[in-house]
Amino acid sequence: MISSLLVANRGEIACRIFGTCRALGIATVAVHSDPDSGAPHTREAESAVRLPGATPAETYLRGDLLVKAAQAAGADAVHPGYGFLSENADFARAVLDAGLVWVGPPPEAIASMASKTRAKELMAAAGVPLLAPLDPDRITEEQLPVLVKAASGGGGRGMRVVRELAALPEELAAAQAEAASAFGDGEVFVEPYVERGRHVEVQILADGHGTVWALGTRDCSLQRRHQKVVEEAPAPGLDEKLRTTLHESAAAAARAIGYTGAGTVEFLVRGESAYFLEMNTRLQVEHPVTEAVFGLDLVALQLRIAEGGALDPEPPAPRGHAVEARLYAEDPAQGWLPQTGTLHRFEVPAADAAHRPGAPAAESGVRLDAGYRSGDAVGVHYDAMLAKVIAWAPTRAEAVRTLAGALERAVLHGPVTNRELLVRSLRHPDFTGTGGDPTGLDTGFYERHGAELTGADGKFDHRDEQIAALAAALADSAARTAPTAAPAGTTRPGGAQPGTRTFGAWRNLPSVPQSRRFRGREGELEVRYRVSRDSVEPQELPGVRVLATAPDAVVLEVDGVRREFGLARYGEQVYADTATGAWALTALPRFPDAAGQQAPGSLLAPMPGTVIRLAEGLAVGARIEAGTPLVWLEAMKMEHRITAPAAGTLTALHAAVGHQVEVGAVLAVVTEAEDPAGAAAPADTAATVEETP
């Protein structure tokens, strides 16, 4: 029996595993890098072992340090979580060689699936349907588009879609270089790229006594940069014959390699055909939707299997539908750029804080699996996922509606997140479909709808943001003015009574309009209002009436509808939350600071990171074409390519390989070329940032 478990991981998966351990009476051991010394997973474990360093290569990818940590803490078992070394056969062997229990499949099974090319050979022999790899030297125009994939690893790294034959050699080389950097293995392969295919997977659970469970299907088709964003179970719209094929193929894959423990077999589905993609020999990020539908704790079952226990002959029957959304600190409108900073406040009011990981969400409301808490810092060294929010309901339509509402009402004060994109995605007609049956559920969803879902289609509601800015200005004014007692019967938003501000003292002359400046989503905005003895009158916002103000709450009437705003300020950052939306604003000084201006043409670091590469031959005086990649940064497990915004001359170069840079640091300056008439072209200080997963 396992008495003490070390989780060789971090973030939400470590917290989730610790929750099951507490329920089972198993002692918990965390490991942490220096940046994670105060992270939730470190705080929640009963003991923790420091891994000196900051980067994954120094810490969570050091199998030798992880084994020593388990021994030092007296743990008798190791759970790898997902990511990092979870699919590393050598690490599994090292754990077993140290006399510890490995909560995962046999090292031989991991090794057999580690290479996607070898895995395809094994699956073909087992009769599992798949897409045959293509010879890169013999690909023709008729076979395009094709997909270049890394043979090792995952997460979209080392993956390229190629639509032009002439681009194939360059994309092959780029994928090989990225795969070698990310996984230590530069092998790649090429296969047909299926347009508008669906990513469907089957959860496998197998014990050491010959029982294999195929726990339904999951659809993970909504992806950006080949990384999943929304997942659900069961996969909607599949007929019984296709479901049976998927279940039988997944079970055959597990039996073919002598698999034990939890794993996932992934397929590409198009129409009535399914093709094997890969097998993940670990727990998946999206496992909670399967837990909710089957009423199981997959981590508890992993531990039972690792202890030699047996599964029941048949799994429980599924019920209802579950949907999961991955909440990331990233800006979808800026190319999904990861964000860093302090997460001042993070709450999902709909989630049940007492929800035990693994319990059906139907029994305790919306489930939240989070790796961050209010006050935590989102750093540059690790993945940008903050949490997963999961909802269960008897039907798909109800589950989707519940999840969208929970996300919409979440309180997120800190780095920009993908929350709005998630809500819009869940409510998009192509996702919901008539009667809850999706009509546009495939891996190209964000390619088709990205502009409208991120607001890049120009349909952003400027008036709503202006109204939110007015609420922020009124709350700030209330905070700077000593509050007076509220008139009898007056209430603040949320039902709070004291502190609501009355509107000024007696005057014998009209007041001068007051103004506040903010930076919003699409630039600077100014709000103006006039304060009288018993009212506040917004200027240039017809149809808006002020009902009540306080430092943390404002009530407005907008076109006859009462709207309540919760306000919070952290330094210059201001957050305005309502029941149907949230706004993040930056309060601007009355007079701009000229000292903070950057030279025109400055290429600024979009986030903290490490300079890993400069364009070949890059030097001051070089002629630069618009769109030319100049600097590569690595941050948050992603490679960020920064390109010139316009043609011109490189007049300054401040970046150097190996340098750590802060957000906003000037990396280079490109002075734009003059137009034919001799006038300088308009300066654009923003570089273009492209990301490679």
Which ranges in the chain are annotated with CATH 3.40.50.20?
Answer: 4-103
> Using only C-alpha atoms, what is the Rg of the chain?
27
Which ranges in the chain are annotated with CATH 3.30.470.20?
Answer: 116-129+194-454
The Cα–Cα gap between 58 and 88 comes to 16
pLDDT tens for each residue of 282-303: 999 999 999 999 999 999 999 9
Phi, psi of 675 (to 5 degrees): -80, 170
Strand-pair partners of 189 = 149
SS3 letters across 607-622: CCEEEEEECCCCCCCC
Q: Where are the alpha helices (DSSP H) in 321-418?
A: 361-364, 396-408
Which ranges in the chain are annotated with CATH 3.30.1490.20?
Answer: 132-192
> In Å, what is the CA distance from 81 to each residue of 85, 263, 287, 414?
9, 12, 12, 27
Active-site residue (options: 282, 326, 517, 569): 282
Query: What sign does the dihedral 223-227-229-234 (CA atoms) show?
Result: positive
Architecture of domain 4-103 in CATH?
3-Layer(aba) Sandwich (3.40)
Low-confidence ranges of the chain (pLDDT < 50): 360, 362, 484-499, 502, 504-506, 594-595, 675-686, 692-693
Query: Which pLDDT does position 157 carry in this prediction?
Result: 77
The Cα–Cα gap between 50 and 25 comes to 24
Query: Which pLDDT does position 598 carry in this prediction?
Result: 64
Whole-structure pTM value: 0.84
Closest CA to 206 of 315, 320, 55, 129: 315
Catalytic: 448? no
Domain 116-129+194-454: give its CATH code. 3.30.470.20
Question: Which CATH entry fits the domain spanning 594-692: 2.60.120.10, 3.90.209.20, 2.30.42.10, 2.40.50.100?
Answer: 2.40.50.100
> Per CATH, which fold does 462-484+511-587 belong to?
Glycoprotein, Type 4 Pilin (3.30.700)
The Cα–Cα gap between 486 and 405 comes to 33
Query: Which pLDDT does position 521 carry in this prediction?
Result: 86
Query: Which pLDDT does position 681 carry in this prediction?
Result: 40
Query: Which pLDDT does position 116 carry in this prediction?
Result: 83
Place of tokens 């025109």: 600
pLDDT tens for each residue of 508-534: 555 678 999 999 988 899 999 998 877
Query: Which pLDDT does position 534 carry in this prediction?
Result: 77
Task: Centre a 10 Å sphere on the Cβ of residue 613 and count the other Cβ atoms it contains.
Answer: 17
For domain 132-192, the CATH superfamily is ATP-grasp fold, A domain (3.30.1490.20)
Could you tell me if 303 and 26 are in contact, meaning their C-beta atoms sit under 8 angstroms apart? yes
The Cα–Cα gap between 518 and 529 comes to 14
The Cα–Cα gap between 322 and 288 comes to 8
